[in-house]
Structure 1
């Protein structure tokens, strides 16, 4: 078990398993970390086993729309949805640009559909390479979506759009916010769990690691 202890002036100790399998403990000075690990050992072992299973899935290809495409190294970046292949050029920027175009084509009709259904008028739609969240919205009503959304199943992408549109009405996670989300995506709790799994898969996927600037 890879353990990393982060000492912070927090009131309660926090235990987290990172997508790479590192166990991160955030705790105040003098806190008994070993005791915390022992109390939660069963939970930790379950989470680490889950990550090992996701790692095997993550290494099976390039995820597009929830499926794993065959990767071919080529001179020009291209995605063939019919043949389920991804051509990766040596240029990260070129590959990211290709994925952004594909995602925009997938996203905009969903944004238009649910904007009308929900009676919400968003501003501009941006696609960015973010490292911490699937999407966000600005006080001006603009929507930001993570390029990683191209990797996940379309129904989860739909949930993310509904979630961010709902934030244009409620800039919080209040009961009213979740009621609005639930009206248009009743199974949002399952979607949230699935998104966590997909985030881990993308973090472990060697091709997305390369796109993020990793080895």
Structure 2
């Protein structure tokens, strides 16, 4: 699958989840981001990192649902965790996998310097 195809598939996945969660997405971007997988604003703006495009759909779903829930809950408290579990099951495994990806990338970058 080409990068434009993966980007379209990713955006389709965002729209799938936004409809399921009842979130009105005003603007959706997929662009390079240095330090985050994604960000959102209360105005309905969503940005996702292009680095996500090379990952599995389960990891896409984790990041997408994570951000969309922030439209309702601004923190990672008990309610947010309950909703993550309700929509994704044992989501912590995905969280751990993403942290490992970031760690491995940082390690690789430091070795190249």
TM-score range, shorter chain: 0.7 to 0.9
| Greater share of residues in strand | 1
Q: Deviation of residue 204 (structure 1)?
A: 5.1
Write the distance in 2 (CA, Å) between the matches of 1:134 and 1:108.
14
Name which of 66, 72, 94 aligns with 1:163.
66
Write the distance in 2 (CA, Å) between the matches of 1:205 and 1:153.
21
Do the aligned partners of 2:10 and 2:53 also contact (CA within 8 Å) in 1? no
Equivalent position of 2:42 in the other structure: 139
- 3-state DSSP class of the match of 2:97? helix
In structure 2, the gaps of 5 or more residues are none
Structure of higher RCO (CA pairs closer than 8 Å, 6+ residues apart): 2
Q: Give the TM-score of the pair, scaled to structure 2.
A: 0.84
Deviations 1:139-168 (A, max 9, x none): 211111011101222211111001111011
- 3-state DSSP class of the match of 2:36? coil
Which portions of structure 1, spanning 4 or more consecutive aligned residues, are displaced by more than 3 angstroms?
Answer: 201-206
Larger gyration radius, structure 1 or structure 2: 1
- 3-state DSSP class of the match of 1:113? helix
Write the distance in 2 (CA, Å) between the matches of 1:118 and 1:139.
15
Equivalent position of 2:90 in the other structure: 187
Equivalent position of 2:100 in the other structure: 197
The alpha-carbon distance between structure 1 residues 147 and 204, as it changes in their structure 2 partners (threshold 3 A), is farther
Write the distance in 1 (CA, Å) between the matches of 2:31 and 2:15.
19
Q: Give the TM-score of the pair, scaled to structure 1.
A: 0.47
Do the aligned partners of 1:134 and 1:145 also contact (CA within 8 Å) in 2? yes
The alpha-carbon distance between structure 1 residues 122 and 195, as it changes in their structure 2 partners (threshold 3 A), is same
- Over aligned residue pairs, what C-alpha RMSD do you find? 2.3
In structure 1, the gaps of 5 or more residues are 1-80, 82-97
| Greater share of residues in helix | 2
Matched, 1:107 2:13: no
Q: Deviation of residue 105 (structure 1)?
A: 1.0
